[in-house]
């Protein structure tokens, strides 16, 4: 039977508990979230438990990664339900900050390059600066030994690895495999925005992505496969496609024509019924 985790709301409470655990020789794992949890988030907790003795999760909807017109004001909030799910998954400490993590005179921002350039940045130029800032702040507050991020946000995962390396933050970053619905749609807190028709269309994303990846694997020809995938998404009912791209799995440099010998990743962003979805998969 799970033991209820501590819920703390201040930095002092957070650090006091973590310091106590560290004095006992405990290894700390960390999973940052924005709440509205699903099985994909819980898989991150399970992954963290493989590498640490005590698991900390945070719930904080970070305003700096939203731009005007995005869903900051309507992003799903369910803290009581989230806390229960984290407890059942074996989380030991939940950090739910009261108020903003950005003080009245906050004046620092982070510029990120490398894997953060292109793809998402072409459509959401604010996003990785906001992610870099909040992840750095949370890692500094929690001071974990390991942190786990989902591979659904593959570009984000590589960006966070670059941030922690460049800024000498002493934490090991692990990626966790994508958790999917029965029809293959990657789990996301925003999936609950769909009506029945929109959800049926969204379920085609993984099917089209897998078909594209298979064609690239067999032919090594990127452009024909990605153009075909874009057409298939629009025919399936997606209203727009931001990108269907193949990139080096380590550097995330986009490979425009031929696969060659690179270890590669297929990455997709498309909008269905007003909901923007991202997904990715390895190319064998």
Q: Stretch 88-111: mean pLDDT, rounded?
A: 95
pLDDT of 2: 46
Is residue 68 predicted with pLDDT exceeding 80? no
pLDDT at 4 over 70: no
The pLDDT, as a whole number, for residue 3 is: 58
Query: Hey, what are 17's tokens?
Result: 């508990």
In sequence order, what are the residues at sequence separation of 6 or more whose Cβ sits closer than 8 angstroms to the Cβ of residue 258? 220, 221, 222
Confirm if 136 and 162 have CB atoms less than 8 A apart: no
Residue pLDDT, tens place only, 8-25: 999 999 999 999 999 999
- Residue 109 confidence (pLDDT) above 70: yes
pLDDT at 118 over 70: yes
pLDDT at 262 over 80: no
**195 burial type by CB count under 10 A (0-12 exposed, 13-18 middle, 19+ buried):** exposed
Asked whether 138 and 18 are in contact (CB, 8 A), the reply is no
Map out the domains of the chain with their CATH numbers.
6-176 (3.40.50.620), 189-279 (3.30.1300.10)
Identify the weakest region by mean pLDDT among 73-87, 129-143, 177-191, 234-248: 73-87
Write out the catalytic residue numbers. Answer: 41
Task: Give the span between the Cα atoms of 191 and 195, in whole angstroms.
Answer: 9
**Mean pLDDT, residues 226-252 taken together:** 97
The answer to whether the beta carbons of residues 277 and 129 sit under 8 Å apart is no
pLDDT, tens only, 191-200: 999 999 999 9
The mean pLDDT of 61-68, rounded to a whole number, is: 89
Any idea which of 67-71, 124-128, 129-133 has the lowest mean pLDDT? 67-71
Q: For residue 117, give the nearest of 278, 227, 269, 251 by alpha carbon.
A: 251
Asked if the model's pLDDT at residue 1 lies above 50, the reply is: no
Q: Are 51 and 171 in contact (CB under 8 A)?
A: no
**Angle, helices 39-49/79-89, rounded to nearest 10 degrees:** 40
The pLDDT tens digits of the residues spanning 208-229 come to: 999 999 999 999 999 999 999 9
The model's confidence at residue 79, banded by pLDDT at 50, 70 and 90, is: very high
- The C-alpha atoms of residue 226 and residue 274 are separated, in whole angstroms, by 22
Average of per-residue pLDDT values in the chain: 95
257 or 267: which carries more pLDDT confidence?
267
Judge whether residue 266 has pLDDT over 60. Answer: yes
CA dihedral 269, 271, 275, 281 (to 10 degrees): -30
Buried b (16+ CB within 10 A) or exposed e, 88-126: ebebbbbbebeeebeeeeeeeebebebbbbebbbeebee
Rounded to an integer, what distance in angstroms lies between the CA atom of residue 132 and that of residue 40? 22
């Amino acid at each position: 039977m799970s033991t209820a985790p501590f819920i703390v709301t201040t930095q002092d409470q957070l650090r006091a508990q973590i310091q106590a655990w560290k004095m006992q020789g405990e290894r700390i794992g960390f999973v940052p979230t924005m709440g509205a949890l699903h099985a994909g988030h819980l898989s991150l907790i399970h992954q963290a438990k493989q590498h640490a003795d005590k698991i900390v999760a945070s719930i904080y909807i970070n305003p700096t990664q939203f731009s005007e017109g995005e869903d900051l004001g309507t992003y799903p909030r369910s803290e009581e339900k989230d806390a229960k799910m984290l407890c059942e998954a074996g989380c030991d400490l939940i950090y739910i900050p009261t108020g903003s993590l950005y003080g009245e005179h906050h004046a620092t921002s982070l510029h990120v390059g490398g894997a953060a350039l292109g793809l998402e940045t072409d459509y959401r130029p604010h996003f990785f600066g906001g992610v870099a800032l909040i992840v750095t702040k949370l890692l500094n507050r929690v001071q974990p030994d390991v942190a786990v991020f989902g591979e659904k946000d593959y570009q984000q995962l590589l960006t966070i690895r670059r941030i922690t390396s460049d800024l000498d933050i002493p934490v090991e970053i692990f990626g966790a495999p994508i958790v999917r619905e029965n029809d293959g749609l990657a789990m996301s807190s925003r999936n609950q925005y769909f009506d029945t028709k929109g959800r049926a269309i969204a379920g085609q994303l993984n099917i089209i992505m897998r078909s594209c990846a298979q064609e690239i694997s067999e032919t090594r020809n990127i452009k024909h496969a990605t153009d075909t995938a874009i057409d298939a998404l629009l025919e399936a009912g997606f209203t727009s496609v931001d990108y269907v791209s193949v990139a080096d799995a380590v550097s995330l440099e986009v490979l425009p024509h031929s696969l060659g010998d690179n270890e590669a990743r297929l990455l997709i962003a498309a909008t269905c019924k007003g909901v923007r979805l991202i997904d990715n998969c390895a190319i064998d």
